[in-house]
Structure 1
Amino acid sequence: MRLFPFLIALFLAAPLRAETIEIDFEMEGLPRSFELTIPEGLDGPAPMILALHGLLETGTSMRKRVTRDRFDAIAKTYGVVVAYPSAFTRVWNLGEGIGAERIIPRRDDIAFLERVIETVRARVEIDPDRIFAAGFSQGGIMSFALACKNPGLIRAVGSVAMALPEGLAEDCARHPPDGVLLIHGSEDWVVPIEGGAIVSGPGATMDLMGHDRSVEFFRLIKGCEGPGETRSWDAVDDGTVVTRQAWYDCAVGAVEGYNVEGMGHRWPLGGPLLPFSQVIGKTTREIDGASAAWSFFSRFP
């Protein structure tokens, strides 16, 4: 299995050193910020990952608690620059639609994420063809929106605990990223794996495709034929089983879909989402979400 050698290499490779700094600026009259992890001794343009947190979280909690510093470990080992933006009031806003109109104060977080990328590129030499977005929950929506509304900006997207919103289907059909990775738990009641309506703002909802339909949507758009490669993980006695279906021989790019039987609204191998962990279900220890994302992103040289 391709993922297991990658995990071994990740934790046995001699790590580089890395510096994490906080960058603050004002935008739309609001204070905005993000954390940025930069490995030392970068040789040439570096790949970049935007790690986008979920509802009521922050860039710091995405880095330290949700992903347990594993994106930073990837940064140090593989020379990847990782940015952890924070949503204002811990709630992302697409900047359009009824839900966005009712979120106060009004702001455009797609424009904010574009600004984050511009700010990073002004500080570090970034490979413009290797900018990736990995989002958890509401951060997954922002990852899809950023990629599909900005053709060529985001090479590949990894979405955990979030399917494709129906409202982004047209944009993503016209301008899909080269790669799409989706990971979802079968026991996720916050964002059900079957899809349907979720809250998108005060008195507003957003319709989601669901995990299987989202995978199929991108498989067809990317020209991925056949049933794909199927692998399963059940090596740890944690009450979860992971099944991955993947298409790598597509007309353009690649698609991966992970169905995690028994996992709730969680990041794989992620830390607790205090104070909600007991309510939103358990994570899986069969895979590491950050490593799965980088293993997929690394397919795009």
Structure 2
Amino acid sequence: MCDRDAAPCSIDSGTYHVALPATPEGDLPAVLFLHGAGGTGRGVLGMTGTIKALTDRGYAVIAPDGLPWRPGRSGGIWSFLPAIQRDKARDEPAFFAAVVADAATRYDVDPDRVALAGFSAGAFMVNYLACDTPEAFAAYAPVAGGFWRPHPENCAGPVRLLHTHGWTDGTVPLEGRPLRNGAWLQGDIFEGLGLWRAANGCTSPAPSGHRTTDDFMRRYWTCADGSALELALFPGGHGMPAGWADMMVDWFEGLPES
């Protein structure tokens, strides 16, 4: 098996690692989780608390590798913006689809029950893919990443998306920030939520309701049939928060039929 302690699974367009439940059964639901800038799929599986929580719930975790980020350094990046991908690019939606198809053959993953999640740069990738092709995955769950400026003019929709963010995140602040003396500009998470509301046909910016789960303060919008949009804030910085996996799975399993 292509787990954290083994060589990665290899397909024509890249590689990935996988973690499975202790007693996997057929047609596994899965989370395809994208690492942050300079990370690896193997590193994703090193988030033992998050991974164990997902596999304990019966989910496979599929952790692909981004393209090499900087010469002479390990770790990868995702091709979502020309300014980030530098001189290398890959058709990431096609790569992710190929990874899911391969995992379906090797590990009996159900391709219709895969959520695309990611952290930081991986979360930026999740947002752009969800914006362009919301039907590619059953749902989307970015953590600590949104859009870059200029924001997309609009997104296809509807979408099923749970955005999680740390209240004191200084690497990807909620309001965004400039990098490289302003050459790159991170976007505003709340402005991004406006794009998602428009894609979901929401008629009001006000949330449909609020709820709390442990430290997560959550607000959600119920708009177009089959859609789902939610923001979950937690009192922390730029990192994967404890409890995210169970919150995300509960949300995913409670989604309306599309």
Q: Using the alignment, how far apart are the partners of 1:188 and 1:54 within structure 2?
A: 15
Contact 1:47/1:130 (8 A) holds in 2: yes
The structural deviation recorded for 1:158 is 0.7
- Counterpart in the other structure of 2:84: 99
The structural deviation recorded for 1:254 is 0.8
Corresponding residue SS for 1:74:
helix
Measured at CA, do residues 26 and 44 of structure 1 come closer, stay the same or move farther in structure 2, by a change above 3 Å? closer
Contact 2:114/2:138 (8 A) holds in 1: yes
Q: Using the alignment, how far apart are the partners of 2:129 and 2:168 within structure 1?
A: 27
- Counterpart in the other structure of 1:181: 162
1:266 correspondence with 2:251: no
Corresponding residue SS for 1:152:
coil
Q: Using the alignment, how far apart are the partners of 2:189 and 2:59 within structure 1?
A: 28
- What letter is aligned with 1:268? P
- What letter is aligned with 2:60? V
- Counterpart in the other structure of 2:210: 230
Contact 1:54/1:136 (8 A) holds in 2: yes
Measured at CA, do residues 96 and 161 of structure 1 come closer, stay the same or move farther in structure 2, by a change above 3 Å? closer
Matches within 5 A, 1:183-222: 183-198=164-179, 204-208=183-187, 210-222=188-200
Contact 2:141/2:248 (8 A) holds in 1: yes
Contact 2:8/2:16 (8 A) holds in 1: yes
Matches within 5 A, 1:31-42: 32-39=14-21, 42=24
The unaligned stretches of length 5 or more in structure 2 are 69-73
The structural deviation recorded for 1:232 is 3.9
The structural deviation recorded for 1:250 is 4.3
Cα deviation, 1:225-275, whole Å, max 9, x if unaligned, reads: 553221246x6xxxxx642102346433211101224x1111112xxxxxx
1:25 correspondence with 2:10: yes
- Counterpart in the other structure of 1:243: 217
Q: Using the alignment, how far apart are the partners of 1:46 and 1:167 within structure 2?
A: 38
Matches within 5 A, 1:52-131: 52-65=34-47, 68-77=48-57, 79-87=58-66, 88=68, 89-94=74-79, 97-100=82-85, 102-103=86-87, 106-108=88-90, 110=92, 111-131=94-114
Contact 1:223/1:250 (8 A) holds in 2: yes
The structural deviation recorded for 1:133 is 0.8
Cα deviation, 1:278-298, whole Å, max 9, x if unaligned, reads: xxxxxxxxxx12222212221
The structural deviation recorded for 1:168 is 6.6
May I ask how many residue pairs the two structures share in their alignment?
245
**Runs of 4+ deviating beyond 6 Å:** none
The structure richer in helix per residue is: 1
TM-score (norm 2): 0.79
- What letter is aligned with 2:218? R
Identity of aligned residues (%): 25
Corresponding residue SS for 1:182:
strand
- Please tell me the root mean square deviation across aligned C-alpha atoms, in Å: 3.1
1:51 correspondence with 2:33: yes
The structural deviation recorded for 1:223 is 3.0
The structural deviation recorded for 1:181 is 0.8
Corresponding residue SS for 1:119:
helix
- What letter is aligned with 1:75? T
TM-score (norm 1): 0.69
- Counterpart in the other structure of 2:71: none
- Counterpart in the other structure of 1:165: 148
Q: Using the alignment, how far apart are the partners of 1:58 and 1:211 within structure 2?
A: 25
The unaligned stretches of length 5 or more in structure 1 are 1-17, 236-240, 270-287
